[in-house]
Amino acid sequence: MSRWRLLIESADQEGLVHKTTGVLYRARCNVIVNHEFADDKAGRFFMRTEFTGDVDKEKIMEELWRVLPPQPFVKLSQPGKARLVVMGSREHHCLTDLLTRCAFGELDATVDAVVSNHDVLRTFVERAEIPFHLVSHEGISRADQEQQILEVLDEIQPDYIVLAKYMRILSPEFVSRYANRIINIHHSFLPAFVGAKPYHQAWERGVKVIGATAHFVNEELDQGPIIEQQVIPVNHSHGPIDMARAGRDVERQVLARAMRLVIEERVFLNGHRTVIFD
């Protein structure tokens, strides 16, 4: 029997759970896990179901459209590996962690290419038999550099682009080309310490916790919908460099966790926020 993943987003209405589970029940599907959420304020309904069954996909889609409010988003698919492009720079920890998790099947994805504006991670990437594209930002306009990156991306058509400490700001044009498919790891618990050098900012402010935030990238810097956040305690003996070291463990963990959620299609966008079924 095949395994299926059903995603629904629509206007909210009484009885939607009853109606959608009815479609699956009549098709003799075996529901493995089911999550739903209704956002009262926004009037939106979200649902994610995993089931097994020998089903006629077209027929199920048709019946779902019939019972759901007008213009629903419905996606029914058999889960396969997501295809990623990872963009890095000089820091290794998030990039090597992601590549290793994908290589051993801990994340259900393949890394189809790495794009970097520095060459330091080339050896690690190429040993993993992943194409490494150096696209330096030096002596070149941002538009031209992004154009070179887009050529790599457009060839590959990845499901998601992961900014694994890429450290450069992408233009709104670039972002809109891959809207809601670019995930960034920011080294602070946003909205604290937006922008550059968040560990220095954290040290200046004398905070007692630092953290990391994985979020979708949109046109505003560090303002995209948040997927995952974690923090760790620090104290007066931590300078900015100690914070950065301690923070790396949080960063790689937050990004890995966010990517698992994204890859398994557990994340719905709900305006500036996310709905996450885990």
Interface map 89-118 toward a second copy (x if CB under 8 A): ---xx--xx--x--xx-x------------
Nearer to a second copy, 86 or 207 (CB): 207
54 scored as a contact of a second copy (CB under 8 A): no
CA dist 186 and 215 (Å) reads: 8
253 scored as a contact of a second copy (CB under 8 A): yes
Nearer to a second copy, 174 or 199 (CB): 199
Structure token pair of residue 149: 């990156």
CB 38 to a second copy: min, Å: 8
Q: Which of residues 129-188 bind a second copy (CB under 8 A)?
A: none
From candidates 128, 150, 156, 167, binder to a second copy by CB under 8 A: 128
30 scored as a contact of a second copy (CB under 8 A): yes
Q: Is 97 a catalytic residue?
A: no
Structure token pair of residue 271: 């305006």
Which of the residues 222, 242, 249, 278 is marked catalytic?
222
192 scored as a contact of a second copy (CB under 8 A): yes
CB 175 to a second copy: min, Å: 18
Give the binding-site size for a second copy (rule: CB under 8 A). 62
Nearer to a second copy, 145 or 188 (CB): 188
Nearer to a second copy, 96 or 147 (CB): 96
Buried/exposed 207-226: b ≥16 CB within 10 Å, e otherwise: beebbbbbbbbbeeebebbb
Task: List residues binding a second copy (CB under 8 A).
Answer: 14-15, 17-18, 21-22, 24-25, 28, 30-31, 33-34, 36-37, 39, 41, 92-93, 96-97, 100, 103-104, 106, 124, 127-128, 189-193, 204-209, 211, 225-231, 235-237, 239, 248-249, 253, 256-257, 270, 272-276
Instruction: List, by residue number, the catalytic residues.
Output: 222
